[in-house]
Amino acid sequence: MITLRINGVTAHVENGTTLLEAAEFLGFPIPTLCHMDGLSPYGACRLCVVEIGEVGQSRLVSACTYPAEEGLVVRTASSRVVSNRKMILELLLASCPQSKTIQDLAAAHEVRQQRFRQEYEDCILCGRCVRMCEEQMMAKAIGFRGRGENRSVGTPFDVKSEVCRLCGACMQVCPVCELRCTFTEPEKAICGGCANLSPPCVDMNEYEDMMCYMNPCVACEIVRRDGELTAKEIDDVVV
Amino acid sequence: MKTRINPEDVFRIVDKHNNSQGAIISILEDVQATYNYLPEAALRIVASRTSHSLVDLFGVATFYRSFSLEPRGKHIASVCMGTACHVRGSRQVLKSFEDNLRVKAGGTSTDGEFSLSTVNCVGACALGPVAVVDGDYYRNVKDGDVSGILDRASRIDGALKMTDDERVFAVSVSCPSCNRSLLNDEHLLDGHPMIRVTASFGRKHGWIRLSSLYGDYRIQSEYAIPKGVVVHFFCPRCHAELRSGRLCPDCDAPTILLLVRGGGTIQLCSRSGCKQHFLDLGG
Ligand code: SF4
Ligand code: SF4
Ligand code: SF4
Ligand code: FES
Ligand code: FES
């Protein structure tokens, strides 16, 4: 057992408990985004920041990945935590304003402005889909590719994955792709194709922004022609 | 230009790394050394033969800049775009490379000869603008110099050639009896065809492939050759023994004689494990 103090309240937790779990146990809410029960902690979004250590020598850590330590002092809502959390939300809004999840989080934390250059990314690289596919669906169909500003999520070589079984779990857990297939204008949002299985959704050309891993799209049965070709070429090459 | 993949070559690389966890980078390095890039088909084979998923292999392959998923040219040209070179006009130089090769930085010319890239400072700022072609540094490059630089790189393509980073020669060799080439285009190592000859020792008789890079001792062989054994080499075409009159100065074993295209001979000690060899370009 480990004893620590969160917001002045003493908690006794099992070895290996994260600060997030300990705080939840005591009833202190910590907002999360990349964290998901059933998936391994990842620490990508930093939304769950908390302050640890005595005032004056404290530091910020992500609660979802930091293990409880004996005698640790944790603050989940200090002014430093709150201002950092708001900044993170503001940055998330700058990259993915169309996400309902992010909008709701921003509203709940009273983020009233967005001062950065507005972009319309379709992914915040939270890794939920990647972990879902690997850890719960045992498929490993999608993963991170590239690095830095070129980092993206998708299938290897961007072709239809042989191991993806179109379960849709990746889309289910994505905090951004709820409004993904957005034609060409991000603001218009909502694809709706899935809700309307026939007739097929939209012409493939309209789907520049398509980020759905269901390739071909279940609703519209889009077949990525270039992808198919590559797959066939491979068969030709491997004799 | 798609490279033909021989699955056996990829299997061999995988087996060499014993499927150990964490060998992912070494495996990819070896695949790239063989094909000069990472062919999709090869990655798929690696994924099917190891515990690494294609997703992980692809993630690593796209993470590191030293890996390339596209075939690279025979020659690698990079233009320094670091601050010092930039202010001395490296943009013009790059443009000249792009115009000469008719390819944008990051691409490979349509004839597969040159890959063009940019680097940020190669540490020779005082000499800028700097261009590096096949490991040779060119200083104070002006846009007018570029076609000459490229010509030179193409010419070194003959008997001896510098490879991109290893600074070793690739030798093009033939049989001293029938004069036919001993290079085998189907098996590449570091992007160079390997030397394929017939080897015999004890009661074993089979093929053996040697790296064509001078000073490189990597071999692939049908049978494992125990250390210290003297091996007899034969031309696979005319079956003459590839033997010179000289003995190895280190271990007294007979030496193997190969003809170098463009003039000269190369002699290697025939004892497995002995690294004695000499290149004689006088002849
Ligand atoms: S739909 Fe495919 S990529 Fe998405 S979680 Fe399922 S198996 Fe993985
Ligand atoms: S696609 Fe969605 S779930 Fe996957 S990393 Fe991007 S934002 Fe996260
Ligand atoms: S399956 Fe088709 S309609 Fe549904 S979200 Fe994906 S692209 Fe849109
Ligand atoms: S929830 Fe902890 S870093 Fe995303
Ligand atoms: S900037 Fe070109 S060598 Fe340093």
Per residue in A138-177, pLDDT (tens digit) is: 999 999 999 888 899 988 988 878 888 777 788 888 888 7
Mean pLDDT of chain B: 83
Asked if B53's CB is within 8 angstroms of A237's CB, the reply is no
For chains A and B, CB pairs below 8 A equal 46
Residues A13 and A101 in one domain: yes
Residues A171 and A225 in one domain: no
Q: Is residue A74 part of a domain?
A: yes
Residues A161 and A228 in one domain: no
Closest-CA residue of A relative to B63 is A146
Judged against a pLDDT cut of 50, whether residue A190 lies above it is answered with no
Domain total of chain A: 3
Judged against a pLDDT cut of 70, whether residue A91 lies above it is answered with yes
pTM for the whole structure: 0.61
Q: Is the CB of A170 under 6 A from ligand 3?
A: no
Q: Is residue A54 part of a domain?
A: yes
Ligand with smallest separation from the Cα of A61: 4
Judged against a pLDDT cut of 80, whether residue B47 lies above it is answered with yes
Interface contact A238, partner B, CB < 8 A: yes
Ligand 5 centroid, distance to B91 Cα (angstroms): 12
Interface contact B39, partner A, CB < 8 A: yes
Return all residues near B177 (Cβ < 8 A) that are at least 6 apart. Answer: B235, B238, B240
Judged against a pLDDT cut of 80, whether residue B61 lies above it is answered with yes
- Last residue of one domain, picked from the residues A49, A75, A108: A108
- Give the range with max mean pLDDT: B1-15, B82-96, B148-162, B172-186: B82-96
Name the residue among A140, A145, A234 with its Cβ closest to that of B40. Answer: A234
Residues A87 and A143 in one domain: no
Q: How confident is the model over B202-207, as a mean pLDDT?
A: 81
Contact B231, B246 (CB under 8 A): no
Q: Is the ipTM of this complex over 0.90?
A: no
Q: Is residue A120 part of a domain?
A: no
Residues A15 and A101 in one domain: yes
Residues A102 and A26 in one domain: yes
Q: What is the pLDDT of residue B280?
A: 64
> Which residues in chain B have Cβ-Cβ distances shorter than 8 Å to A140?
53-56
> Which residues in chain B have Cβ-Cβ distances shorter than 8 Å to A138?
none
What CATH number did the domain enclosing A68 receive? Answer: 3.10.20.740
Ligand with smallest separation from the Cα of A43: 4
Q: Is residue A113 part of a domain?
A: no
> Which one is predicted more confidently, B87 or B203?
B87
Tell which of A170, A237, A239 to mutate to test the B interface (max B CBs under 10 Å).
A237
Q: What is the pLDDT of residue B177?
A: 78
Q: Where are the domains of chain B?
A: 7-63, 75-162, 169-280
Q: What is the pLDDT of residue A98?
A: 79
Please give the number of the atom of ligand 3 that sits closest to the Cα of A181: 8
Q: Is residue A118 part of a domain?
A: no
Residues A97 and A48 in one domain: yes
Residues A228 and A152 in one domain: no
Name the residue among A146, A156, A238 with its Cβ closest to that of B5. Answer: A238
- Last residue of one domain, picked from the residues A73, A108, A143: A108
Q: Is residue A119 part of a domain?
A: no
Give me the CATH code for the B75-162 domain, please. 3.40.30.10
Q: What is the pLDDT of residue A165?
A: 78
Residues A195 and A147 in one domain: no
Residues A185 and A160 in one domain: no
Closest-CA residue of A relative to B57 is A156
Q: Is residue A121 part of a domain?
A: no
Interface contact B120, partner A, CB < 8 A: no
Residues A40 and A19 in one domain: yes
What CATH number did the domain enclosing A131 receive? Answer: 3.30.70.20
Tell me the residue range of the domain where A193 lies: 180-239
Q: What angle do CA A195, A199, A205 make, to 5 degrees?
A: 90
Residues A153 and A196 in one domain: no
> Which residues in chain A have Cβ-Cβ distances shorter than 8 Å to B8?
none
Q: How confident is the model over A53-64, as a mean pLDDT?
A: 94
> Which residues in chain B have Cβ-Cβ distances shorter than 8 Å to A233?
2
Q: Is residue A24 part of a domain?
A: yes
